[in-house]
Amino acid sequence: MWCKNFFKNKSTCEILEKLMESYMATAHSLRARGVTSPSHGGHLSQETEKLLERFKEVRGAGLVFPYIGSGKGYGPLVELTDGSIKYDMIGGIGVNYFGHGHEKIVRASLEAAFSDTVMQGHLQQNEESLEVMELFVECANLHGAKLVHSMLTTSGVMAVENGLKIAFQNKFPADRVLAFSNCFHGRTIAAASITDKAQYRDGLPQGLNVDYVPFNPKIALKHLKKQIARRPGKHACMIMELVQGEGGFNVGTKKMFMEIAECLRENNILLFADEVQTFARTYKPFMFQHFGLDEYVDLVSVGKSTQVCTTLFRDEIKPRPGLVSQTFTGATSSLFAARVILKEVLKGDLYDKGKKLGLNHMYFNKFKKELSKFEHISNIGGIGGMIAFQVYDGSMETTMQFMHELFNCGVIAFIAGKDPVKIRFLVPVPAMNPGHKSGYPKNDLREIMDVVKRAFREYDRKADKKD
């Protein structure tokens, strides 16, 4: 309350406006410069090299890219300490949904800096925590779901953990989980036990008992019924990505998910939708809404693009006191940002109020069309702002090399999937649409494709040199 009143003060408003004016002028300058190489003759500066070595020494492992941000960014563009400016098509693996330097989010963060409570949590809540939880609930129930509770947390995997604990307590003594093959749900011991990737649980104890179902519309239901029949009454929930992220941006079908949802309900097994990566990236705010699963979802985990994370759940499965609680449930600056982001999503104009498929659909089609023009790109898939594609033979070695060429040429991306391994984009769609008030007036798609073209040239040139 104090913070609101403080920012109504005339002199405070003037100072804030000057700060914002200065910040946005700096951000806009990145737009004018566009994609640039490192300022030291196309090479990393000694300062950046030293920073990278320090990171490696302190972390015990080097960074994936020589990505050390300068703190400047605007829209889909970000500046690094080496002086280069790049298109950020991964956004910290989905964190920057609105791109960099979004005016409303920056303004909210400045206002948050004047709050006494730096971190909010179990015994220190401000009004913002309540507002954000209410916005999450409102967003989740737009189409008839009954997810009336929201428990905030600081990370996506903790939102998953809290959901699992709620499921197990509700279905005790059931002690098993159902999940899809090739799934990813995080790297804690419990989440890594579910995540279907051996390297993420190498050397770890098996924290949970998991039974897998193929992510395949033709056989998923058959295998689900088989797993349930093998261990009747033993499954607390089925946790599922409705679009597999780490697995390669694999998209299921409405029919597959509806059949699974009905089967789970018949067998008294909770449906847990993990939407940490999918929130706001498809054709409705939640992917479960896109597939019409509103009446079936019992638990939903949300994170990344919202800055703070949450577990949403029905009243009937509300946990007993003490099961889910954290000292910290979000920095005040993150809560201020989350409030802005959720309000923007709730406006509905990102999705054209349901009348059309919206910006995410438009950009997916545009990207797919442009990527399909490249000779060495195949298997283009995904949905909305989630785009994945194979380059050359799709091997890990080739894909990693090409990913680094993309980075060097000016686009930051990442990998996903196996057999083939793919390049993945998490496109900051609102930051790329000049027709939307959240967007930025520049033809980003064309410039990104120019970078992709340069990356192919560089990859082929180096491959020819090897031969």
348: left (phi over 0), alpha (psi -120 to 50) or beta: left
State which of 70-84, 118-132, 224-238 shows the largest mean pLDDT: 224-238
Sheet holding 69-74, edge to edge: 69-74, 77-80, 85-88, 411-412
Of 347, 372, 407, the last residue of a domain is 347
Q: Reply yes or no on whether the pLDDT at 148 is more than 90.
A: yes
146 or 13: whose pLDDT is higher? 146
Average pLDDT over residues 290-305: 96
Same domain, 288 and 171: yes
Q: Reply yes or no on whether the pLDDT at 101 is more than 80.
A: yes
Same domain, 14 and 80: no
Q: Reply yes or no on whether the pLDDT at 11 is more than 90.
A: no
Residue 391's nearest CA partner among 379, 383, 404, 381 is 379
**Does 104 map to a domain?**
no
**Does 279 map to a domain?**
yes
CATH number of domain containing 79: 3.90.1150.10
Q: CB neighbours of 365 closer than 8 A, spacing ≥ 6? A: none
Predicted confidence (pLDDT) per residue in 338-370, tens digit: 999 999 999 876 766 555 557 888 889 999 999
Q: Give the N- to C-terminal CA distance of the chain in Å, as an integer.
A: 67
C-alpha torsion angle, residues 95, 99, 104, 110 (rounded to 10): 60
Q: CB neighbours of 18 closer than 8 A, spacing ≥ 6? A: none
Same domain, 22 and 83: no
Q: At 336, is the pLDDT very low, low, confident or very high (cuts 50, 70, 90)?
A: very high
Res 465: pLDDT: 76
Q: At 467, is the pLDDT very low, low, confident or very high (cuts 50, 70, 90)?
A: low
Same domain, 343 and 215: yes
Res 8: pLDDT: 66
Distance of CA 151 to the CA centre of its chain: 19
Q: Which pTM does this prediction carry?
A: 0.93
**The token pair that represents 100 in the structure block:** 């960099």
**Does 352 map to a domain?**
no
Distance CA 133, CA 80 (A): 34
Res 12: pLDDT: 73
Q: At 120, is the pLDDT very low, low, confident or very high (cuts 50, 70, 90)?
A: very high
- To the nearest whole percent, how much of the chain has pLDDT over 90? 72
Of 347, 365, 398, the last residue of a domain is 347
Same domain, 329 and 195: yes
5 or 447: whose pLDDT is higher? 447
Predicted confidence (pLDDT) per residue in 406-464, tens digit: 999 999 999 999 999 999 999 998 888 755 555 555 688 999 999 999 999 999 998 87
Whether the CB-CB separation of 43 and 58 falls below 8 Å is answered with no
Q: Reply yes or no on whether the pLDDT at 386 is more than 80.
A: yes
CATH number of domain containing 254: 3.40.640.10
Distance CA 452, CA 138 (A): 40
- To the nearest whole percent, how much of the chain has pLDDT over 70? 93
Q: At 379, is the pLDDT very low, low, confident or very high (cuts 50, 70, 90)?
A: very high
SS (H, E, C) 219-253: CHHHHHHHHHHHCCCCEEEEEECCEECCCCCEECC
Distance CA 377, CA 398 (A): 12
**Does 400 map to a domain?**
yes
**Number of domains composing the chain:** 3
Res 428: pLDDT: 92
- Scan for tokens 């492992």, then name that residue: 61
Whether the CB-CB separation of 171 and 154 falls below 8 Å is answered with no
Res 161: pLDDT: 96
Distance CA 390, CA 383 (A): 15
Whether the CB-CB separation of 103 and 23 falls below 8 Å is answered with no
**The token pair that represents 405 in the structure block:** 């060429």
Same domain, 246 and 313: yes
Range of the domain at 334: 110-347
Same domain, 79 and 118: no
Same domain, 222 and 365: no
Same domain, 206 and 232: yes
Residue 36's nearest CA partner among 358, 431, 447, 466 is 447
| pLDDT mean across residues, the chain | 90
* DSSP-assigned beta bridge partners for residue 176: 209, 235
Whether the CB-CB separation of 83 and 45 falls below 8 Å is answered with yes
Q: At 14, is the pLDDT very low, low, confident or very high (cuts 50, 70, 90)?
A: confident
Q: At 4, is the pLDDT very low, low, confident or very high (cuts 50, 70, 90)?
A: low
Angle between helices 396-409 and 444-466 (to 10 degrees): 120
**Does 49 map to a domain?**
yes
**Does 101 map to a domain?**
no
Res 73: pLDDT: 92
Same domain, 334 and 364: no
**Does 164 map to a domain?**
yes
Same domain, 432 and 454: yes
The CA distances from residue 338 to 213, 214, 347, in Å, are 34, 35, 14
Same domain, 28 and 45: no
Average pLDDT over residues 56-66: 94
Of 310, 327, 347, the last residue of a domain is 347
DSSP β-ladder status, 119-120 and 330-331: antiparallel
**Does 363 map to a domain?**
yes
Residue length, the chain? 467
